[in-house]
Every structure is written in C-alpha cells, then in structure tokens.
Chain A
Amino acid sequence: MAKTLLSRFIVLRSLSTQLIASCLFILVISAPANAQAVDAAQAKVTLALATEPPTLNSAVATDTIAGFILSHLMEGLLVYDANGQLAAGVAERWQLDADGASFWLRESARWSDGKPVTAHDFVFAWRHALKPTTASQYAFIFYPVKNAEAVNNGKLPESELGVRAVSDYELRVEFGQPCPYFLSLAAFMTFLPMREDVLDHWGSRYAADSDKLVFNGAFVLEKWIHGAHLRLRKNSQYWQADSVKINEIDMPYITADPSAQFNLFRDGQIAIAPLDTGLLNEAVERGFDIEYFHTGSLFFLEFNFREGRITANRSFRKAVQRLIDPDLLVNKIIGLPGIKPAYSLFPVTVKGMKDPFREEYPVMRVDPDIAAAREYLAQAKEELGLDKFPPLVLLAGDSPRALQEAEYYQYLFKKGLGIELRIDQQVFKQRIEKMRRGDFDIVAAAWGPDYDDIMTFADLFASWNENNRGRYSNPLYDRWIRLAQHSSDTRTRFNAMAQIQRIVVEDVPILPTYENGSLYVQNPRLKGVRRSIFGGDPFFRYAWIEQ
C-alpha cells in the first residue's frame, strides 16, 4: 500500500516539475503579440470590435456591426462617398421618377471570384430578402417597391415583385407609392446584391464563415475566427481597387467593455476606441485627439396610450414635459460633448428641402418649470378623478447609461411630482417583448434612422406602425403622414412634417431626451476615416495612413 502511494506521488511530482519547467519556459520565450494600431508600411489598421456580427448575410443582417463589415465587403447600386453624399456604386448612372427608378450598372464591377456583377444579382437578392422563409426583419424597407408587401406576406409569388433585369446591366424598379428617397434605400444593406449560385451552394451555412460568401466591395473577408478575430483585406477585383489605400483591416479583439478598448488604445494596440463618460477625463489628460459625430439616433420617453393607462392623459404628459429638461440630462448627467439635448422628433441631422430640416423648421422649445408641472398634474388628477397617483412603471434597458438615466427620472418624478416611478430594467429582448405587449407606462426607447429621409422618423407614431409600441393614435398625425406619403412635392411633404413636429411637442406622444453622439479617440496617423450615420460606420474605404 505505502509503496503504491509513493510511486504515484513520484509520477505526480515529476509531472508537476515538468509542467513548472515548461510554464517557465513559455513565459520566458513568448514574445508579446506584435500588434500595432497602424502600420504605414503595410497599410494596415488594427481595430477592436464591440461584438461579433451575428451574421454577414445581407438579406437578414440588422445590426450596426454587420452594417460596418458589410459596407466594406459589398457595394450596392449607390454608395456614400467620403463626405457622406450619395454617389455612384455598382450603378454608373440612374434615373428616378414618380413611379419607378432605372439603374445602369457598370460593366467593370466584379465579384471577388472574377465574375461580373449583374442586374440579376440584385433581382435575386431583393426577392430573396422578401421571401417569407427568409424572415428578414428589414423586409419592410422594400415596401415602397411594387407588390413588396404582398410578396413578403406570401400573398403573391416573388416573381411579381416590381423589380426586373432589363438586361445584364440595366435594372428597373417599379414603385407602389411615391418614393423620393429611393436612392438612399439603394445604398442600404438589405439592397446589396447576392449571388444565387453561392447561396444555393452553401444553403443554410451561407455567410457563416469567411469562405462561404463572395464579395464585390473594396475588401474581402480573409479571416473569421468566431468570437475572436476578423480580418479584411483589399479586394484586388474591386473596380476601383486603385483608390483603396488601406491593405488590411485587422480586428483581433472583440470586447464590448469600453474600458478594455480604451486600455488597448492607450497601449497602442488599436487605432480607434469609443469613449464613455468615465473615460473622457482620462483621455483628455493623456492628450488624445477626441472626436465625435452625431449617430443620427434619437432617444426618447415613449408613453403608453393603451386603455386605462394614466399616461394616455395629455395633462399628465404635459406635466412630465415641464419636469424633464433634456438640457440638464445631457449636460449634467451624460456629460459627453457630441450628445445633444433633443426637443424634436427629428434630430438635427435630418435633411430638409435644402438645409437641415431643423434649420428650415425650428422647433418650439418647452422650458422646465416645476410650478407649471405641478399645475398640469393637478389638472390631470382632476380629469382622471384620482386622489393620488399610483406608482408608474418605467421600462428601461440594461446599459449603464440607461440605468443612470432611469434613476434620474425616478428621483425627478418623486421629488418633482410626488409620483413613485418603478424601474423595470430588462435585457434587450425582454424589453422589446414588454414594449410589444404594452407592459409599461413609460419606456425609455431609441430610434435610429434606417434610410436618409425624414419619413424614417415621421411615420414611427402613425397609428398603423407596428413599431409604435405605445399605440399612440391621433387622426391628425395619421392624416399628415398619409399626405406626405402620397405626395412627391417636397414643399407639401416638409410642411406636413412641420405639422408632425408641432404635434409631438404639443400632444407629447413621446418626450425626446437626447440625440446620440459617438465620442471616440483615434490614432493621429490614421486619416480620412468617414464617420457617418449611413453607409457603414466607421468607413475605411477612403482612409489612409500618414507616414
């Protein structure tokens, strides 16, 4: 017995000494990962991703990370240029009229396997995205195209969709309703071309790995280790390959933790890192170049208008409006330059006839006033026949900022109106589910524009819109939306939008809180990176590295 025990321990001992020795060995010889934020000699940029793109299948992709990657890998009919303006992509020229649009494709456009990009690739991609079996969340964005909604609901065969290839290099689109913003749609992710043969070949595994799709954009996906590493390399088949100055975009880090990204940046490992409230001072102190841009998205409090909800009472909503000061929220609590207080349904980035919409149609600003808020509240009490307000539920997301914001409102309601606001903090899916079911009084929500037209915000609170989670229903609001949708006259459209903006301030279906901005630090040698709302962000197609 004693002997066996002993011999076992000898084995154990020698094994452990070996392990110790090998550990020490590895520790000594292992050189640190030799990554560099920017490498001018190889024209290489290193970045960190917040999360992995859930999919790179353009028909079903929805998130901004996929949008960022896809904008580098694929090119649509139109693209956004270095200044964020619409420009020619695969389409050389185009013509937009009231009942449709025609696109003439350039013959020099090639897929990464050398085959030409043809009008059939677009027709296939659009039909595929609208197929009910594809279950694309963005199918609705095709709805201005003739028969799109019917095809998507399976009521018509996909061949009835109002798009056809007149020839290999000419594409004709028929509209079901006027769509003056169709050109910006043509640059959207879901409108990207797709190759039928590649999709057929990979089936459900399409776009799951770097070798399971083909590219027609400025870069190809060279490497994709799930959850760990993506690498893009310049596409030699790209028709404008000469003008692409970056050879390689390496993304060997995937972390959503801003501090980790910031530490990587400080350590010179990555070229761009986002900044959070807690990181701003440190970045300033280190003398980094801090930049910001408007992401174009609007954050707001949405009220529930379902039967029996106190929030359906206008006086109550007016009381809240006089209590919550977006300026205070943005400057005191969020405290990041680039994030702007919001007073209108339409962020300042929304385009008007010529100038930004908000310059052409300024919004009326309501100042905070506790006395007025309490008067409105007393009025609401009377109208509702209540002695005392019951506790209200504020549905909020689980991000640090969302929580901080919710805690602020909670305090404000208690102190200012004497109302108990209960925070229902939910992870993303549950929050959306509760919004859909109407399981809230007030919800802290956000909306990002899908396409470059004011309508992406305006029709959000039309009574028929599924994304109108508060079920706000106002015949006047609906009428202005219908008018704008069926008119191709710009002045009529924007006048209607001004009415919508006024209704939102006066009737308070939502209370805008802030317009989001993204604050980041960037390696000073990296130039020409486009930060924009549309067309993928950040965009390296026009970037270069200074020697």
Chain B
Amino acid sequence: MVNFIARRLLSGLITIWFIATATFFAMHAVPGDPLTQEKAMSPAVRAQLEARYGLDKPLIEQYQLFMSNMLRGDFGISFTQENRSVNDIIREHFPISATLGIAAVLIALVGGISAGSAAAYCKNRWPDRVVMIAVIAAISVPGFVIAGLAQLVIVALNNAAETTLLPVAGWGSVSQIWVPALVLGLGTMAYLSRIMRASMLEVLSADFNIAAKAKGVNGWRLFFHHQLRNAVLPVVTELGPTIAAITTGGFVVELIFAIPGLGRYFVQAVQQLDYTVIMGTTVFYGAFLVLVVVLVDISYGLIDPRIRLHRGRS
C-alpha cells in the first residue's frame, strides 16, 4: 500500500513538472511580453523592468530560475497586479473558486442522486420523463447561455417580489453562492442523475429487495439503508474527475456573477500575458488536479483491493 501511494505521488510530481514545462514554453511562444504597455517606453525604463523580472536573460536561464523558485514554492510577483505576489493571488482567490466548486459539487450530488433515484422509482411514468427531459436540456444547453439566462430570471424574480430574494451577483455572503453554484453544477447534476438512474434501476431489480421486504424492511429505511447505499457507488467513482473539472472550469460563471475566483484571474492573465500569474495558476491547478486524482486512486485502493491490484499493474 505504501509502495503504491509513493508511486502515485512520484508520478504526480513528474506530472506537475511536465505541466510547468509545457506551460512555460507555450507561454513564451506567444508574441509580445508582459512589459508591453500602451504608452511607449524609453529603452532605459524598459531595461530596468526587464532586469527586475529577469526577462533580459536567455529563455533557458529563465526556465531554470523559474524551476528553482517554484521548488521553493515562490511563483514571483505579478506583472499586471503590481506589488502582489502570485502566491498571494492564489491564496486569496483559490478558496473562492474552491468554495464555489464544492457548493456546485454538493448541489450536483444531492440533486443528481435524488433526481436519479426518483426517476428510477417512477420508471416510465411522468416523474421519470420530467427528470430525463431536464437532464437532456441541462446537458445540451451551453453553460454560458444558462448563466446569462439565470441572472435575468433572478432580476425578474426580484423585481416581481419587489425585494432582493436572491442577489444578482457579487461575492461575500452565503446567499451569493447558491445561484452560481447551481449553474456551475447543473451539467454535472444531469450527468450524475443519468448514472444514478441506471444504477438504481439495476439495484431495484436485484433479489435483496425481495429479501428485505420479506424481513419487513420498508419505505425510507429500505431506500436509505439498502438501495441507495448500493446504487450510489458508480456516482462516487465519478466524483474525482467531477471535482477537478468543476473547480477548474468556472471562468464564465465567475465572470458573469462577478465572483473573484482564480479562474477569472487566469483568463485575465492569459490576455495580459502576465507570465508569473499564468505559470502560478496553471501549476497550482495542475497540482490540485493531480492531488485529487491521487487521493481518489488511494481511496479506491482502500475501498477495493482489486482496484489497487489492477492500477498497480497498468
């Protein structure tokens, strides 16, 4: 087991190095550099700035410098947000993305499991149809459209109620989380309900239901203690990639709902060619993804020794 974990961690580290290198060279392939500014700069000023950020050195030397700084956990100072270190930016803004992501995953999980179960219970009756149509709609409509429309709906609701039922945008209070989280988690919710429905259908057709009923287990107890517990496994296995995707995929939601998450900073940084922020966020997100995957792997290994064996082999 220890061996397995160590191996996963090691390959995770190499992956992070790979991500860092790929980002570094992809980024430097873009024409222009972060010092490009609207007002023309005198050569003396430019030389000063280049020296400050180490841009006057050859690329390979910059790469070495970046790598050694990264090993010490220092991503440098942002080019556009002057006087702010990239570490600060990540420290301040990642928790926001993470909170939003966790809320989205929770909503997706709760919604997906209940909708999926309900659909399975009422197979081919109207609740099933409604759920499946909703699922299809949620999967097929692009997220940016949903986000834009959601905001319009909130404003219409608030105007109709003549009070602020739900905040339109912003970040800071708990009530500002739910709508963007719902929008962000909607696709995943739809996906999870499909899985849940299929797996619940299988469980419902299994023999132990009859046995349980014969023993007098009924209603909610039967559902929670027997059926749900067995049916939820395929949903759990989807969680790892889902969390990773949601936490790194919230740009548009962050933009439309004015949420100061890390995703927004990344898009901004790419547009402004803010080298240090691009590197910092990509490596950080990469590391986060790797960590989630490793954790998921390890937890699988703990749950089911057969998986460990199999993973070890491939």
Contacts and interface: CB of A to CB of B under 8 A. Distances in A.
Check A-B contact in the complex, CB < 8 A. yes
Interface stretch (A95-103, A424-432, A479-487): A424-432
Contacts of A35: 167, 170
A132 B45 contact: yes
B185 to A, nearest CB: 12
A255 B255 contact: yes
B44 A13 contact: no
A138 interface: yes
Interface stretch (A26-34, A74-82, A319-327, A490-498): A26-34
Interface stretch (A16-24, A114-122, A338-346): A16-24
A5 B148 CA distance: 43
B164 A54 contact: no
B39 interface: yes
A9 B229 contact: yes
Contacts of B174: 26, 30
A26 B106 CA distance: 13
Nearest to B236: A12
Interface in B12-42: 30-34, 36-42
Interface in B215-272: 224, 228-229, 232, 236, 255-258, 260, 264-265, 270-272
B109 to A, nearest CB: 7
A260 B257 contact: yes
B87 to A, nearest CB: 13
A226 interface: yes
A9 B39 CA distance: 62
A266 B159 contact: yes
Contacts of B169: 253, 255, 260, 263-264, 269
A228 B256 contact: no
B44 A154 contact: yes
B179 to A, nearest CB: 11
A139 B83 contact: no
Interface stretch (B150-158, B187-195, B288-296): B150-158
B80 A226 contact: no
Given A133-B48, A267-B158, A269-B167, A432 B37 contact: yes
B308 interface: no
Contacts of A256: 255
B89 interface: yes
A33 B170 contact: yes
B170 A427 contact: no
B207 interface: no
Nearest to B49: A135
Contact of A428 (B82, B148, B272): B272
Contacts of B123: none
Contact of A226 (B229, B236, B260): B260
B56 interface: no
Contact of B83 (A5, A52, A206, A252): A206
Contacts of A154: 44
Contact of A432 (B38, B93, B164, B255): B38
A27 B178 contact: yes
Contacts of A6: 229
B84 interface: yes
Interface stretch (A55-63, A174-182, A366-374, A400-408): A55-63
A257 interface: yes
A467 B40 CA distance: 6
B44 A32 contact: no
Given A32-B164, A132-B48, A255-B169, A5 B258 contact: no
A250 to B, nearest CB: 11
A547 interface: no
Interface residues of A, number: 73
A434 interface: yes
B168 A263 contact: yes
A290 interface: no
A38 to B, nearest CB: 15
B224 A13 contact: yes
A253 B84 contact: no
A202 B110 CA distance: 48
Interface residues of B, number: 72
Nearest to B270: A427
Contact of B82 (A13, A33, A60, A466): A60
The CB with the most chain B CB atoms within 10 A, among A20, A26, A35, A260, is that of: A260
A263 B152 contact: yes
A433 interface: yes
B122 interface: no
Interface in B136-162: 148, 151-152, 154-155, 158-159
B30 A430 contact: yes
Contacts of B106: 19, 23
Contacts of B171: 228
B3 interface: no
A467 to B, nearest CB: 5
A132 B44 contact: yes
Interface in A131-176: 132-133, 135-140, 152-154
A335 interface: no
B282 interface: no
A329 B110 CA distance: 52
Contact of B166 (A32, A140, A465): A32
Given A5-B303, A227-B265, A269-B167, A139 B89 contact: no
Interface string A205-246: 111100000000000000001111100000000000000000
A79 B131 CA distance: 63
Contacts of B81: 52, 54-55, 226
B172 A430 contact: no
A533 interface: no
B62 interface: no
Given A132-B45, A228-B260, A252-B172, A268 B164 contact: yes
B271 A257 contact: no
A48 interface: yes
Contacts of B77: 204
Interface string B172-183: 111110100000
A57 B45 CA distance: 17
Contacts of B158: 267
B52 interface: yes
Contacts of A26: 174
B83 A208 contact: yes
B212 to A, nearest CB: 14
B92 interface: yes
Given A206-B83, A260-B257, 4 more contacts: A32-B173, A54-B80, A254-B260, A434-B31
13 contacts: A10-B229, A60-B82, A132-B45, A152-B42, A206-B83, A226-B84, A226-B93, A255-B258, A257-B256, A263-B168, A429-B271, A429-B273, A430-B36
Interface of B: 30-34, 36-42, 44-46, 48-49, 52, 77, 80-84, 88-89, 92-93, 96, 106-107, 109-110, 148, 151-152, 154-155, 158-159, 164-176, 178, 224, 228-229, 232, 236, 255-258, 260, 264-265, 270-273, 303-304
Closest 8 CB pairs of A and B: A466-B40, A433-B32, A227-B260, A255-B258, A208-B83, A228-B260, A55-B82, A30-B174
